[in-house]
Chains A and B, each alone.
Chain A
Amino acid sequence: MLQSPAAPEQSRRLAVLPGLPRRASRRPRRSFTAVFGTGWALAVGIAAALVVIFPLVWMLATSLKPEAQIITAHPGLFPTQITWSNYAQAWTAIDFPRLLLNTTIFAGGVTVLSLTFDSLTAYALARLDFPGKNVMFVLILITLMLPFQVNLVPLFLELTSFHWINTYQGLILPRATNAFGIFFLRQFFLSIPKEVEDAARIDGASDFKIYRKIILPMSFPAVLTLGLFHFMYNWNDLLWPLIVSTSSSMYTLSSGLALFLGSHVILYGLVMAGSVMAIVPMVVAFVLVQRRFVESIATSGLR
């Protein structure tokens, strides 16, 4: 095993010291280093956070500058005069309302359909007993391991033959179920004890009723978390809308802005304003549900 030169010495210390009595004299010194350490950690933490959010702050600042202040030999961070005209221009130049509508329908449609289909399948896999269950589960697990890019070409051809290129159904339906979502909800449904549905079964409730009235309400936090993931993933996606939407009236925010940047003489302020408007909904949503969101990633360790 590879070890740094200091390591054997430390392991010796670890080996020897358990027998030694505890030294009370160390305590005050430790609290001093703890305070000092916290100050140091705070400084590094703030520096790291600033570095990470800097590009976003710069984007916001630039979007508020008149063009003459952006293309200059001495770019400052903050605008000396604030202008909203970039936003007004971006709104019409990239047809922002249209992109916003497309993105909302795409991400929202996928989320609603996928949550419905995923939870139905997860219910069968978690709470019903039937032949072929293991085969089905393994099949779904396998699809988790496939990069979706391998399907880009055949999916494009398939959507072309359906005449679904540049349509919402073309964007949404291929994503209407998600192996990860099925897996995630199945794990959650498995954790609900069997007893909760016994009373309903005795009263003769159907499986659909149990799914709808008992399992789904009890799984609300998991469903909400998964919904956030679906929505965010599709809202932010680039490659899929790039393939399905070839006409500018069907672009999403990501693909619309990316293609706008590639095809125009760039008005920097305008592009920055469009970018700000594109990411603000996600950032606001994140701030609102921040705690739950971070916790659920932490506990499920996903994507």
Chain B
Amino acid sequence: MQDATATVRARLMTWAARLREPFATKARRRRMLTAYTFMLPSLVVLAVFMFYPLVRAAWLSLTNYAFFGSSHFIGLGNYVQLVHDPQFWGDLVNTVYYAGVTTPVSVALALALALLLNRQRLPGRGILRAAIFVPAVVSLAVAAIPFRLMFTPSIGFATFWLARLGIHTSDWLTSQTLAMPAVIIVGIWKNVGFYMVIYIAGLQTIPREFYEAATIDGASPWARFRRITLPLLSNTTMFVTIIAAIASFQAFDQIFVMTGGGPAFSTETLVMLIYREGFSNFQMGYASAIGYVLLLIILVLSLLQMRFFNRRIVRY
């Protein structure tokens, strides 16, 4: 008994000593003061506009706060309501549909374009790369405006020429089956050039000798791609896939402009649901709960990315 108390006391003493250590000498105190002074502006901003809202969102998600009117603690009520809310499940399915198509198609197209535009003797490849990259620098919300008009039948360029080619489509944006593909196309259009550039950087890290050796050995282009390019690009592919997935789970801009989540909520994503519940219906507690579901999804994807980053250095 006596011994146990002594051990605890000894441990507390070492902890206290360790805590006091940074403050022990004047030089150390000054060093710490300097460092935290440097970080002060960022830390204040992060505390006030990041961590405090995060905690407040967690608290809000446990209340029935509705902006106008009183607020009551309802425990996990919002989360229980979510589980039984067909709207939430519908929007979750929409989000997964959007991400599930946008992510692999963007990545595959980006890889194909990178392979195409990484050829040594291709004339004008810089201009072609730049042209394909342009959507990455323009506002998705603004770029979605011409897309919306292109899909509008009364002036619709796309619908008119498709009809000329014998493909008769209805109004894409008011069709429950075609509206989602339309916003997916715009999502892919926006990011494919960006991912392509990352892929080109990945391609340039592969030593040319590998290809030369394989060519001498008579490997076909497909074999070279399958046995050299693809395995050596696996890190890049993983990175691009995860950032593409994270971006597509947060889809909002072009959907807001093109369909507003309609028709009949067929293009409403989780972020749009947060926006609608929080800022149209003012169900802010409920919106916060949906926010935390989104946070969970993104967190899992980010942790996958982190894990991968730590194993990133694959050398051949």
Contact = CB atoms under 8 A, between A and B. Distances in A.
Contacts of B143: 55-56, 275, 279
B302 A145 contact: yes
A28 interface: no
B146 A59 contact: yes
A37 B122 CA distance: 10
The secondary-structure label for the interface of chain B is helix
Contact of A153 (B192, B193, B284): B284
Contacts of A243: 279
Interface residues of B, number: 107
Interface string A121-162: 101110011111100100110011111011111111110000
A52 B35 CA distance: 47
A204 interface: no
B34 A207 contact: yes
A258 B49 CA distance: 26
A117 B298 CA distance: 26
A257 B60 contact: no
Contacts of B135: 52
The secondary-structure label for the interface of chain A is helix
Contacts of A278: 139, 142
B287 interface: yes
B155 A268 contact: yes
A235 B143 CA distance: 13
A261 interface: yes
B260 A282 contact: no
B208 interface: no
Contact of A55 (B131, B189, B197, B200): B189
B244 to A, nearest CB: 11
B141 to A, nearest CB: 4
Given A56-B134, A71-B154, A153 B278 contact: yes
Contacts of A143: 46, 50
A258 B41 contact: no
Interface string A57-77: 011001000000011111101
B298 A58 contact: no
Given A6-B222, A55-B189, A117 B138 contact: no
Interface in A70-115: 70-75, 77
B274 A149 contact: yes
Nearest to A174: B49
B42 A239 contact: no
Contacts of A117: 41-42, 45
A275 B142 contact: yes
A131 B140 CA distance: 43
A207 B32 CA distance: 12
B238 to A, nearest CB: 11
A116 B41 contact: yes
A215 to B, nearest CB: 11
B131 A299 contact: no
Interface string B272-316: 001100110000100110011011001100110010000000000
Interface stretch (A13-21, A194-202, A217-225): A13-21
A50 to B, nearest CB: 8
Of A42, A45, A271, which is in contact with the most chain B CB atoms at under 10 Å from its CB?
A45
Interface in A266-287: 268, 271-272, 275, 278-279, 282-283, 285-287
B194 to A, nearest CB: 7
Interface in B211-234: 214-220, 222-223, 226-227
What are the nearest 9 A-B pairs in CB distance? A298-B201, A145-B302, A154-B53, A150-B291, A236-B139, A130-B35, A174-B49, A59-B146, A49-B131
Interface of A: 6-7, 10-11, 13-14, 17-18, 20, 22-23, 26, 30, 34, 37-38, 41-42, 44-46, 48-49, 52-53, 55-56, 58-59, 62, 70-75, 77, 116-118, 120-121, 123-125, 128-133, 136, 139-140, 143-147, 149-158, 173-177, 179, 182, 207-208, 211, 232, 235-239, 242-243, 253-255, 257-258, 261-262, 268, 271-272, 275, 278-279, 282-283, 285-287, 290, 293-294, 297-299, 301, 303
